[in-house]
Structure 1
Amino acid sequence: MNVESVMHKQAGWASADTPVREVARMMAKDDIGAVPIGRDDRLVGMLTDRDIALRVVAEGLDPNTTRAEQVMTKSLIYCRTTEAIEDAIRLMEARKVRRLPVLDENKRLVGMLSLGDVAHSAGRQLTGELLQAVSDHHD
């Protein structure tokens, strides 16, 4: 089974210059914890609810004037539509992430793969291993 058959299709994204408050509203509206961030039709990062809590709220920044690119996670971790779901799970485990943007052969964002998607498609053992890996305490 490949990633394309499991992922959420038509993932939305926000522009790098979008104010954090607008991205947070997108998260609330769609009940999600991360929004891909793009510039010039290319994925450049991810803004997570954790980024907002630690890099905006905890630092006392104004979410109305702080732009997504200023506080987003820049180290991009993604998978491809054609990858085996097991490979994507191993990547999520290794990088301790709960969601991955999914890119097509043209490096365009076409979906998101989440822990929930994995839980609905993969076996219990793989799902359990992934959940344990991404939930381990940080050192």
Structure 2
Amino acid sequence: MKVSEAMHTPAEWVEADTPVSEIAARMAKDDIGAVPIGKDDKLIGMITDRDLALRVVAKGLDVERTTAADVMSKGIVYCQTEETVEDAIHLMDQKKIRRLPVLDENKRLVGILSLGDVAHSAGLQLTGELARAVADHHR
């Protein structure tokens, strides 16, 4: 199965200078746990609900003045629509991530492939292996 058949859409990114208060509000409204971050028409990172908790709230930062660029996970790991779900699972396993932005052939963001999407589209063995990999305890 191709990633395009398993991913969820739509996917939108926010600019790197967006206040984290707006990102948290979007996460709550859309019931999502991660938002891709872009700058100059390129994906540059991802901000997760965990990033907000550990890098903003736990440090007592001002949510109106702190931007996505200040606290996002830098760099972007992604997959493409025509890749197989199995290949995406292996990438998620290697990088220990639960969500992958999905880009089309023009390198445009078109979706997100999450652990939940994998659970609904892949076999139990692959889903179990991925869940175990991304749920490893932090040391």
- Aligned residue for 1:25? 25
C-alpha deviation, 1:42, in angstroms = 1.4
Report the alpha carbon displacement of residue 69 of structure 1 after superposing the two structures with TM. 0.8
Residue of structure 1 in register with 2:79 after alignment = 79
Aligned twin of 2:118: 118
Equivalent position amino acid for 1:80 in 2? Q
- The alignment status of 1:34 with 2:58, answered yes or no, reads no
Q: CA deviation at 1:122?
A: 0.3
Matched, 1:137 2:109: no
Task: Show structure 2 runs of 5+ residues with no match.
Answer: none
| Matched residue count | 139
The one-character-per-residue Cα deviations of 1:30-70 (angstroms, maximum 9, x if unpaired) are 11110001112211110101111111111111011101111
Q: CA RMSD in A?
A: 0.8
Give the Cα–Cα distance (whole angstroms) in 2 for the partners of residues 131 and 58 of structure 1. 26
TM-score scaled by length of structure 1:
0.97
TM-score, structure 2 length as denominator? 0.97
- Kindly state the Cα deviation for residue 75 of structure 1 after the two structures are TM-superposed: 2.4
Partner of 1:98: 98
Structure 1 residue runs without a partner (length 5+): none
Q: Distance in 2 between matches of 1:63 and 1:120?
A: 35
> Within 1, Cα distance between the matches of 2:75 and 2:135?
20
1:49 corresponds to: 49
Runs of 4+ displaced beyond 4 Å: none
Give SS of 1:9's match: coil
Identical counterparts, % of pairs: 68
